[in-house]
Amino acid sequence: MKPLFNPSLMCMDLLNIKEQIEILNERADMYHVDIMDGHFVKNITLSPDFVKAISKVVKIPMDCHLMVTDPDDYIESLAKAGAGYICPHAETINSDAFRIINKIRANGCKVGVVLNPATPLSYIQHYIHLVDKITIMSVDPGFAGQPFIREMLSKIAEAKRLKEENGYKYIIEVDGSCNSGTFKELAEAGTECFIVGTSGLFNLDEDLTVAWDKMIENFNACVNA
């Protein structure tokens, strides 16, 4: 499959949301919306209200990453707001994962699951076949600009192996430090969807159109090197 790019909206210029979304609508594959509650991670970022507000102008799926202690509290409001994917952390749902997965689907959304760097794929082995997307954190969650955790390359490769051996349909996504310094290794390990933030996209140029073109050039140069 062709590589997918999922810009992290918490890294965009929030003073120019509409303008930047109109640019990304024609280029990105989905939008990554980080929702933090100040408990599961210390920061507080975007919200269901933000999803509802931008739903009026977005043309591609919104991928909502729930860095929250109680993801069940967010499912219905995010679905009503226009979420395409709802992606809780495995660390927060394993006491009731099947109920949460069923609830996300019942609300008309695709199901993702996110794994912290120290959480093995075996943690989700009993429901891995039910998810549409697996997001492997390559940095500890909650803060932008952290260094890449190289140990995640083997986890990505394991997700790819399991997918191929069992015919699973999930997208393999990576969140954290996806940029010209990591694109090649991530792609070779099996990454299919790249969440691009400050280092991978938004800091490449003040003009987001130029920044996007630079990101694609960087990616192609890296993976074809």
Q: Angle at Cα 203 formed by Cα 198 and Cα 206, nearest 5°?
A: 135
Residue 13 catalytic?
no
According to the annotation, is 29 in a ligand binding site?
Answer: no
According to the annotation, is 34 in a ligand binding site?
Answer: yes
Q: Which of 13, 34, 72, 207 is catalytic?
A: 34
According to the annotation, is 119 in a ligand binding site?
Answer: no
According to the annotation, is 197 in a ligand binding site?
Answer: yes
Closest to 159 in 3D by CA, of 125, 112, 116, 184: 125
Closest to 173 in 3D by CA, of 198, 196, 151, 146: 196
Phi-psi region of 44 (alpha: psi -120 to 50; beta: other; left: phi over 0): beta
Q: Which of 72, 132, 175, 205 is catalytic?
A: 175
According to the annotation, is 65 in a ligand binding site?
Answer: yes
According to the annotation, is 129 in a ligand binding site?
Answer: no
According to the annotation, is 126 in a ligand binding site?
Answer: no
Place of tokens 């159109």: 209
What CA–CA distance (Å, rounded) separates 165 from 99?
A: 27
Packing angle between helix 17-25 and helix 208-223, nearest 10 degrees? 40
According to the annotation, is 167 in a ligand binding site?
Answer: no
Residue 73 catalytic?
no
Q: Which residues are annotated as a binding site for a divalent metal cation?
A: 32, 34, 65, 175
Residues of each annotated binding site: 32, 34, 65, 142-145, 175-177, 197-199
Q: Which positions are annotated as active-site residues? A: 34, 175
Residues annotated within the binding site for substrate are: 65, 142-145, 175-177, 197-199
